[in-house]
Amino acid sequence: MSIESTVSLKRLYIETVGCQMNVLDSEMVVASLRKDGYSITQDPKEADTILFNTCSVREHAEEKAYHNLFHLKQLKLKHPEKIIGVIGCMAQKDQRAIFERVPYVDLVVGPGQLQQIPSLLKRISAGEGKQMAVSLDRKEGSADEIKRSHETFDPLRDPEMRPSPGQAYIRIQIGCDKFCTYCIVPLTRGPEQGRSPSHIVAEAKVLADQGCKEITLLGQTVNSYRYREAGKVTRLSDLLVELNEVEGIERIKFVTNYPKDMTRDLLEAVRDLPKCSPYFHVPAQSGSDAVLKRMKRGYTTADYYEMMDRIREIIPLATVASDFIVGFCGETEEEFQGTMELVRRCRFKNSFIFQYSERAGTKGAEIYPDDVPAAVKKRRNQDLLQVQDAICLEDNLPFLGRTVEVLVEGPSKWSMRRHEEGPAIQMTGRTRCDRIVVWNGNSRQAGHLLNVHVDDVSAFTLLGSVETFEAMPDLFQLSMTQSQR
Ligand code: SAH
Ligand code: SF4
C-alpha cells in the first residue's frame, strides 16, 4: 500500500463572501478540517466537499450564493458522493428552506455552529443523510441558552488560509444587540458577547509566533466591547494596552466601530499606544437625522460631527472610513443631500456605499415600505461615490514624493488576474492609516514592513517604488494640512 493511500485524501473547496468575520470563520473551518485530513483545492470539480460561506446582509449576496449552488447541479448528478454545504449567515437565516430550494445540498450550518462541521461531514459520509446545525432564534430560549447557541468555536488558526501572511483577524466580540432596522446581523449572528481578554491575548501571541505583524480585532460594534470578570470590567482601551505588549505584533487595528462608543479613553489609548493604527472605520449610514431615526441608529448627525471633532482633537492625523446606505425607506432628495453634506464635511479616507436592500425579518421590512425606486438608489449611489472619490484623490495628492511605511500584503489583484510571476510583479500593502499602496516588487516581500516612495497617486491607491535606504517611518508624520479638511 502506498503511503498516500494510508492517509485520508479528502479535498475541500471553500468559497467565502461577505465581511471579515466570514474570512476568519473560513480560516477556522479549514483549520478544523485539516486536522481531519482534508487538503484544500482551488477547483470545485476536484473537491470531495464543497462549502459556501455566505452573507445575508444584502439580497444580491444571497442570490449569488444560490446561483453558485444551482451551477453545481451537473457535478452533483455525476458525483453524488460529493458533499455540498452552505455555511454562515444565509444558512442561519434560511435554514431548511435551503434544502427545499437546492435539494442536492447536504449540509447547512449557521455561523454559531461551525465547530460541528467535522462531525456533521462524518455523519453524511456514513450515510446518515442531510445534516443541519443552526443557532436558536432570538426568541427561542432564555438569554443564556441563546447566547450559548451562538458561541463560535476554539480559535484553531491556519496561517495558510490567511489572505496575507503578515496579517490576521482576531474575534473579540460576536453578535450584535443594536438592531438597526435595516440589518439582519443581530438575527444571524445572535446576541452581543465579548470574549475573555486572556483568550484574546493568548491568541495574539500564537499569531505573533506564526509570523503575524498586524492584528485586526473584529466585532460588529467593536468599540462597544466589554468583558466582566471577577468584578472587573475590561473595555477596548484596556484590551489595547495588553495587546500593545505582545512581542512581534507591530500594528493593531479594530473594526467596525459604532459612533456613540468612540469614547475619549479609547481615542487616547490609540494616541498613546505606539502599535495602534490611527485609523477608524465608523459607519455613519446617513447624514439625515430623520433617516438615522428610521434606521434606529441611536445618534444624530450632530453626535456624529461631535465624534469627528473628538477624533481630530485627540489624533489630528487619524483617518476615518465610513459606510452609507442610500435609498433607505422614505429617503427624500433633501435627506440624501444631508448625506452628501456629511461626506463633504467629514472627508473620509473612503466610504463603502450600499443601496438599501430589504431583509425579511428585520424591523425595517416590517414597518417601512422599500419605496425608493431602484433607479433613484443607483443615482444617489453614483452621486455619493463621485463626491467621495474626489475627496480621496485630493487627500492622496499630498503624498506625492513622500515615503510611507507599508505592511506588505502580497501580489495585487491586478497581477493575480494577469498571472504575473517572476522577479518583478505588482505588490500591494497598506500604510498605518490604511491607505493602499502598490509598487513593482516580489512575493518574498509579503508579510514585511517596507518603506515605499510615492511616485504617483490615484483616488484609490498610492503608486510607488521601494526605498533602498532608511526613510521616515510613515505617513503619520505628514503635516496637518495634508490630511485635514
Ligand atoms: N456591524 C457593522 C456593519 C455590518 S453590515 C456596523 O454596524 O457598522 C456592513 C454594512 O452593510 C453596514 O454598515 C451597512 O452600511 C450595510 N448594510 C447593512 N444592512 C444593509 C441592508 N439591508 N441594505 C443595504 N446595506 C446594508
Ligand atoms: Fe447591523 Fe446595526 Fe448591529 Fe451594525 S450595529 S451589525 S448595522 S444592527
pLDDT above 90: residue 382: yes
All three cell numbers of 97, joined, read 428552506
Ligand 1 pocket mutation, candidates 183, 258, 377, criterion most atoms within 8 A of CB: 183
pLDDT above 80: residue 1: no
Residue 246 — pLDDT band, cuts 50, 70, 90?
very high
The verdict on the CB of residue 283 being under 6 Å from ligand 1 is yes
Under a CB-based contact definition with an 8 Å cutoff, are residues 235 and 204 in contact?
Answer: no
From the CA of 364, the nearest ligand is: 1
| Burial classification of residue 52, based on how many CB atoms lie within 10 Å of its CB (0-12 exposed, 13-18 middle, 19 or more buried) | buried
pLDDT above 90: residue 241: yes
Model pLDDT, residue 480: 34
Least confident of 29-38, 273-282, 295-304, 370-379: 29-38
Range 59-71 average pLDDT: 95
Range 470-483 average pLDDT: 40
Give me ligand 2 centre to Cα 293, in Å.
Answer: 14
Residue 419 — pLDDT band, cuts 50, 70, 90?
low
All three cell numbers of 443, joined, read 512575493
Residue nearest to atom 5 of ligand 2 (CA): 178
The verdict on the CB of residue 457 being under 6 Å from ligand 2 is no
Least confident of 95-99, 102-106, 137-141, 437-441: 137-141
Calpha distance 281→69 (Å, rounded): 33
pLDDT above 50: residue 75: yes
Q: What is the separation of C-alpha 295 from the centre of its chain, rounded to a whole number of angstroms?
A: 22
Residue 369 neighbours by CB distance under 10 Å: 10
The verdict on the CB of residue 323 being under 6 Å from ligand 1 is yes
All three cell numbers of 402, joined, read 513622500
From the CA of 19, the nearest ligand is: 1
Model pLDDT, residue 421: 64
pLDDT above 50: residue 484: no
Model pLDDT, residue 336: 98
The verdict on the CB of residue 72 being under 6 Å from ligand 1 is no
All three cell numbers of 430, joined, read 497598506
Q: What is the pLDDT of residues 306-363, one digit of tens each?
A: 999 999 999 999 999 999 999 999 999 999 999 999 999 999 999 999 999 999 999 9
Half-sphere exposure of 312 (CA within 13 A, CB side): 15
Model pLDDT, residue 471: 39
Give me ligand 1 centre to Cα 357, in Å.
Answer: 10
Ligand 1 pocket mutation, candidates 57, 60, 297, criterion most atoms within 8 A of CB: 57
The verdict on the CB of residue 184 being under 6 Å from ligand 2 is no
The verdict on the CB of residue 30 being under 6 Å from ligand 1 is no
The verdict on the CB of residue 299 being under 6 Å from ligand 2 is no
Calpha distance 65→55 (Å, rounded): 8
Calpha distance 49→41 (Å, rounded): 10
Q: Report DSSP state, residue 153.
A: P
Residue nearest to atom 5 of ligand 1 (CA): 57
Model pLDDT, residue 271: 98
The verdict on the CB of residue 180 being under 6 Å from ligand 2 is yes
Least confident of 255-269, 270-284, 344-358, 411-425: 411-425
Model pLDDT, residue 152: 67
Strands of the 49-54 sheet, one edge to the other: 39-40, 11-16, 49-54, 83-88, 107-109, 131-133
Model pLDDT, residue 474: 43
Model pLDDT, residue 146: 81
Ligand 2 pocket mutation, candidates 220, 222, 260, criterion most atoms within 8 A of CB: 220
Model pLDDT, residue 473: 43
From the alpha carbon of 362, which atom of ligand 1 is closest?
A: 22
Ligand 1 pocket mutation, candidates 19, 354, 356, 358, criterion most atoms within 8 A of CB: 354
The verdict on the CB of residue 186 being under 6 Å from ligand 2 is yes
From the CA of 57, the nearest ligand is: 1
Residue 422 — pLDDT band, cuts 50, 70, 90?
low
The verdict on the CB of residue 153 being under 6 Å from ligand 2 is no
- Residue listed under C-alpha cell 443594536: 178
What percent of the chain is modeled with pLDDT above 90? 83
Residue 155 — pLDDT band, cuts 50, 70, 90?
low
Model pLDDT, residue 423: 64
**Which of 379, 452, 376 has its CA nearest to residue 412?**
452
The verdict on the CB of residue 356 being under 6 Å from ligand 1 is yes
Q: What are phi and psi of 83, to 5 degrees?
A: -100, 130
The verdict on the CB of residue 357 being under 6 Å from ligand 1 is yes
